[in-house]
Each structure stands twice: as structure tokens, then as C-alpha cells.
Homo-oligomer: A and B are copies of this chain.
Amino acid sequence: MLRTETVRKILSWYEGETPGLKSNLSRLLMHGRLAGTGRVVILPVDQGFEHGPARSFAPNPAAYDPHYLYELAIESGVSGYAAPLGLLEQGADTFAGEVPLILKLNSGNSLVKTQDQALTGTVEDALRLGCVGVGFTIYPGADASYGMIEELREITLQAKSRGLMTVVWSYPRGGNVSKAGETAADIIAYAAHMAALLGATIIKVKLPTDVVDLADAKSTYEKNAIALATGAERVQHVMQASFAGKRLVVFSGGAAKNREELLSEVQSIRDGGGNGSIIGRNSFQRPKAEALELLKQVMDIYA
């Protein structure tokens, strides 16, 4: 399949990046069911690290086996598969070249109280495993957030010069952010904007609610009558905050939920101009046939 006009236009936004990074971005955008549409669905499996294996895989025990996760990513035709080092290694040879890979370079876990993550992989690992990019989480607001941003700075420098994309999970928490604020529209837009300023190739944020959380921001939202009533409007606001839509933004759905809710969210993302979804628990915690069916429905909405 030849590169589409849509993909060509998206690549043009990443001016000043190396041809290598654009090639890898192109590989993601030209893979799977959504190839050429400018939309992507990514399968992320870092919940085992974040929440523990049982909470992650007991609902569908087949998913304890890393090969199952590769198969899910390949058979469903999603655009890419993102996971920490060990998960990617267990399958990287067997499935070499079958799905674009993103190596998640830091991970947190539920045994620790602090809002931080540990570096768990390297850019060299990503090259060795044939990845198209690396993933990294920041927690804007957290006490550790400036340290996380500085780690990201180093990784970005290394990754970009070797032609790898950076995918930034921007998840505000702590500091001036209330619990409800973690998904507030103003905070999510801010989180996406910061990821863009940090040079992220792809930005991952949570789907925003209609809350405005920061006291200093409220009058701005009111005075400028920024529309946040519908999911699509909120996605649109996040896209605007991502360099007027010139950065790819994907939204995560969070905990497993019913099909209707999920598909409704996907429609909001599509209608608001978002670039796609990152769907973990809602896919790998379902039985395979059901997961494939659901991912197909999601991708049909984006196609």
C-alpha cells in the first residue's frame, strides 16, 4: 500500500526531525487496519507492572503469556504494541517485523507510595528489538515530575538522533492537581501541551472530563467560552493545545468498561479530531474473540 496524502501531511508536521524518525512514524501509520487513515489504535501492556499480574491478567489468563499479547496485536491489526522490556523480549524474535513495537522505558508499580517511575529499558534495547519508538511516562505535578522530565530530555536526545519516535504518556497528578483534576479538561490539555513542548512525537493522555481544575485557569475558560460540554469538544480542545492539531494525540480509555461506553468514547475522540486510542485492559482482559471483535468495532469507527 502506498503512503496516503493524509500520512504525507502528518509527516510534514514533524519538520526538522530526521528521515529515520519519519520512516518509523510512517511504519506505524501505514500498518494494520487503520493504515493510511492518519488514525492509530495502540495496544499497551504495562498494567502488569503498574497494577500487578493478577489484577491485569486474571480476568483472561491467556494474557499471562507474552506470546498471546503479540498475537492479539497482530491478529487484531492494531497499529502498534507498547510494553516494557521483558514483555517485548518474550516474542520479539518469534514475531519479528509483524507489528510496530514501542518499548516503554519507564514503569511504576503499586508497591511504592511515591508518584514516580523507574527507568526499566534503554534506547539501545529499542534498537536491538527493532522498535519504531520508545515510550515514557511523566507525572506533571508530582514531586518527582521535574526529575522525570529531565530523564525524558535525555531519552529524547538519544532516541531522535537514532531515528526513534518518542511516545509520551502525560499523566498529571500530585502538586496542584486534585484527584478529579487528573482528568479535568484544563489539566489534560495542559498535559498534552507540555508533552508537545518536550518534543513528543506522539502524545498519550486520558480522555478529559468537563471539569476545570486549576483555580487560575477558570476565568480563562469562562471568559473565552471554551466549549467543554461534549466529549468531542473536550477532545477538540486537547488537540488545539497540541500545536493546533499538529501533533498526534491518542487517548486512553482506562479501566475495563462495557462495549457501549467504550465505543461512545471512541466516537467522541474521532469527532473531536483525536488521532486514536490506546486500549489495554479493554482488550487483553476480554476473551480473545471478544477482544478482536471489539477492536474491530473501534477501528471501524476510526477508519
Identical copies in the complex? 5
Q: Could you give 13 example pairs across A and B, Cβ below 8 Å? A: A16-B93, A19-B92, A19-B93, A19-B129, A30-B97, A59-B224, A86-B200, A90-B196, A107-B197, A111-B145, A111-B187, A112-B176, A119-B149
A24 to B100, CA, bound (A): 11
- Further contacts, 8 of them, CB under 8 A, given A19-B128, A120-B197: A17-B89, A20-B129, A22-B130, A27-B27, A58-B226, A86-B196, A87-B197, A113-B175
Stretch at the interface among A49-57, A257-265, A269-277, A292-300: A49-57
Residues on B with beta carbons closer than 8 Å to the beta carbon of A142: 112
Asked whether A194 is an interface residue with its Cβ less than 8 Å from the other chain, the reply is: yes
Asked whether A26 is an interface residue with its Cβ less than 8 Å from the other chain, the reply is: yes
Using a CB–CB cutoff of 8 Å, the interface residues on chain A facing chain B are 2-3, 11, 13, 15-27, 30, 48-49, 51-55, 57-59, 61, 64-66, 68, 74, 84-87, 89-94, 96-98, 101, 107, 109-114, 116-122, 124-125, 127-131, 140-143, 145-147, 149-150, 153, 157, 161-163, 172, 175-177, 186-187, 189-190, 192-194, 196-200, 214, 216-217, 220-221, 224, 226, 237, 240-241, 243-244, 246
A192 to B48, CA, bound (A): 11
Residues on B with beta carbons closer than 8 Å to the beta carbon of A53: 189-190, 192-193, 240-241
8 nearest A-B residue pairs (beta carbon): A26-B97, A23-B130, A19-B92, A111-B141, A22-B96, A65-B244, A20-B130, A118-B146
A241 to B49, CA, bound (A): 11
Residues on B with beta carbons closer than 8 Å to the beta carbon of A175: 111-113
A59 to B153, CA, bound (A): 30
Residue of B at shortest CB range from A63?
Answer: B244
